[in-house]
Every structure is written in C-alpha cells, then in structure tokens.
C-alpha cells in the first residue's frame, strides 16, 4: 500500500529494467511510488522487492486507460509530484522493412505515451510546492543509429516535447528534463544481443560488443546510473535545471 503522507512519484514501465531501478531509487528517497505497465505479472514480480509500491496496470498508448490509471494512482497516494515517463519500446529493422505498424507503435508508446501521462499530472502539479517531469529518452534523441529509424525519430520527438514543455512551464514550479542513456544493461539490449547472435551466427559475447563498443568506456550503462540521475533531477538542488538532455553514456555523445 502506498503512503499518502509521502510525495508521490509515478514511474511508467516501472516493472523492469531502467524503470524498476528508478522506482527503487525513488522509494529509497522516501517517495510513495506507483508502478505502471501493461503486464500485471511483471508489476507483481517487481513488487516483491518494492512491497510498498502501488501497482496500476496501464497501457500508456490508451488515453482513456491512462486517465483511469492516474485517477486510481492519485486516489491511493495523492497528487503526483514526480512523473517519470520511462515506458518505451524498440523494434529493429532496416528502414525499408520498418512498417507503418512499427512506426505507429513506437510513436504511440515513446511519444504519445509521455503526452498522455504528462497531461494527467500537469494541472494538479501546479498546486504543489515543486513538480518534476523526467522522460527517459536516449542517446538516440541526439544522434542517428542505423536499423532503428522509427525509434530514433520517436526519441528525437520525446526530447523536442521535453524542451518545448520546459519553456512553456518555466514560470511555474515544474521542471521538465530528459535523460539520454546509452546502451544499458536491460532486457531490451539482452533481447537484441540474442537476435543478432541468432541472425548472424556470432556468439552472444561477440554480439554484445556491437553495443559496448559505441560507449568510449566500453561497457553497458547500469540502470542504477540512470536512477541516480533521476534522484538528482528531482532534488531541490536541480530546481533551475529544465529543458535539458542529460547524457549518461560514457562519453558517447558530447
Ligand atoms: P524494458 O523493456 O525493461 O522496459 C520497458 C518498460 O516499458 C517495460 O516495463 C514495459 O512493461 C513498459 N512498457 C512498454 N510499452 C508500454 C506501454 N504501452 N504502456 C505501459 N508500459 C509499457 O527496457 P528498458 O528498461 O531498457 O527501457 C526503459 C526506457 O529506457 C525505454 O524508454 C527505452 O527506450 C529507454 N532506453 C533504454 C536503453 C537501453 O539500452 N536499455 C538506452 C536508452 C534509452 P510492459 O511490457 O509490462 O508494458
């Protein structure tokens, strides 16, 4: 059960990977945390390590469901002071084989998902002492990569949304920022490594170097490094930081 006396943070896609790491960090900072995601079983597994988290199944692409989910979240844990737009998907294919359905899915999840959730929190957030919107974008918000054109376009759009909202809300108590991780050690990358190994006959260790080699530090980002950046962005010290794309990528983008 969430604690209504604590400030309330909602993490979309909070049941796994980077979102779960962020939820852990915010919970350790004494936020009441709500995890949203489509798969209730995934949320339930996450709650074994975060027993106080509020679990609200929600598909962020569905605006009606998002409205109902935020109503449920707020009734359990109070107005949202931190929204982390983390839910995201990637589908990999050469541009010529990326279908309209792929483009639609990535646009609806990676961009409209953040739009739907942000819409739900903005008005009540203005009445709080401070509000924070943090979107988990990507280095793909700042540079191109091959075979993921729809993903790169959607992540550029998510950063554009962040920058525009930051200007629009600059005179309020709300900051809006994006974190741009490089390749991180989560299921998205583990699945991609498996796919590359299957399709090319390379070993998984060799396929993994496709991802580690783009990071000058030669490694994948630990999701807790992204979570630590969220912790700073939601702190009082970061109240003048808005509209930023904070890169956590071992120097891949500078
Ligand atoms: P995961 O696949 O572990 O996490 C994605 C999460 O999003 C899942 O929990 C998933 O839960 C949820 N999700 C997906 N679609 C929806 C939806 N329509 N509605 C609600 N929840 C949804 O991967 P990561 O942790 O790696 O990814 C998290 C974010 O970080 C993504 O936005 C990704 O683009 C970004 N990122 C990841 C990088 C990486 O290398 N891993 C690098 C840069 C950015 P469910 O399926 O249950 O809905």
Q: How far is the CA of 162 from the centre of ligand 1 (A)?
A: 18
Residue 93 falls inside a structural domain: yes
Ligand 1 binding pocket includes 120 (Cβ within 6 Å)? no
Residue 2 falls inside a structural domain: no
Ligand 1 binding pocket includes 39 (Cβ within 6 Å)? yes
Query: Residue 62 and residue 72: Cα distance in Å, rounded?
Result: 15
> Do 136 and 198 fall within a single domain?
no
> Do 195 and 71 fall within a single domain?
no
Q: Which two tokens stand for residue 222?
A: 């630990």
Q: What is the mean pLDDT of residues 200-215?
A: 94
Ligand 1 binding pocket includes 215 (Cβ within 6 Å)? no
> Do 112 and 236 fall within a single domain?
yes
Q: Is 151 noted as a catalytic residue in this protein?
A: yes
> Do 56 and 180 fall within a single domain?
yes
For residue 54, the enclosing domain spans 8-184+221-248
- Global pTM reads 0.97
Number of compact structural domains in the chain: 2
pLDDT of the residue at 3: 65
- Each residue's pLDDT tens digit, 81-112: 999 999 999 998 999 999 999 999 999 999 99
Q: Which of 145, 147, 151, 183 is catalytic?
A: 151
Under the banding of pLDDT at 50, 70 and 90, the label for residue 213 is very high
Atom of ligand 1 nearest to the CA of 211: 40
Under the banding of pLDDT at 50, 70 and 90, the label for residue 195 is confident
Ligand 1 binding pocket includes 225 (Cβ within 6 Å)? no
- Each residue's pLDDT tens digit, 130-178: 999 999 999 999 999 999 999 999 999 999 999 999 999 999 999 999 9
> Do 154 and 172 fall within a single domain?
yes
Calculate the alpha carbon distances from 5 to 8, 34, 49, 225 in Å: 9, 14, 21, 28
Query: Residue 175 and residue 241: Cα distance in Å, rounded?
Result: 7
Query: Residue 195 and residue 200: Cα distance in Å, rounded?
Result: 8
């Amino acid at each position: 059960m969430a604690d209504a006396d604590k400030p309330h943070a909602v993490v979309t896609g909070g049941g796994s990977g980077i979102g779960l790491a962020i939820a852990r960090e915010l919970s350790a900072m004494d936020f009441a945390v709500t995890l949203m995601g489509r798969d209730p079983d995934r949320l339930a597994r996450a709650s074994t390590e975060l027993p106080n988290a509020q679990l609200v199944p929600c598909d962020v692409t569905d605006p009606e469901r998002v409205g109902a989910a935020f109503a449920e979240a707020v009734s359990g844990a109070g107005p949202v002071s931190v929204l982390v737009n983390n839910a995201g998907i990637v589908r990999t294919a050469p541009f010529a084989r990326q279908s309209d359905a792929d483009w639609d899915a990535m646009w609806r999840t990676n961009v409209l998902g953040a739009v739907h959730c942000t819409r739900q929190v903005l008005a009540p957030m203005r009445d709080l002492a401070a509000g924070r919107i943090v979107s988990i974008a990507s280095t793909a918000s700042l540079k191109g990569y091959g075979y993921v054109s729809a993903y790169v376009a959607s992540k550029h759009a998510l950063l554009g949304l962040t920058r525009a909202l930051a200007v629009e809300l600059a005179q309020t108590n709300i900051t809006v920022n994006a974190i741009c991780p490089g390749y991180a050690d989560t299921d998205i990358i583990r699945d991609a490594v498996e796919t590359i190994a299957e399709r090319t006959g390379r070993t998984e260790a060799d396929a993994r170097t496709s991802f580690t080699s783009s990071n000058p530090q030669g490694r994948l980002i630990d999701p807790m490094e992204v979570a630590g950046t969220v912790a700073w962005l939601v702190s009082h010290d970061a109240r003048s930081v808005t509209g930023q794309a904070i890169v956590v990528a071992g120097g891949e983008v500078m």
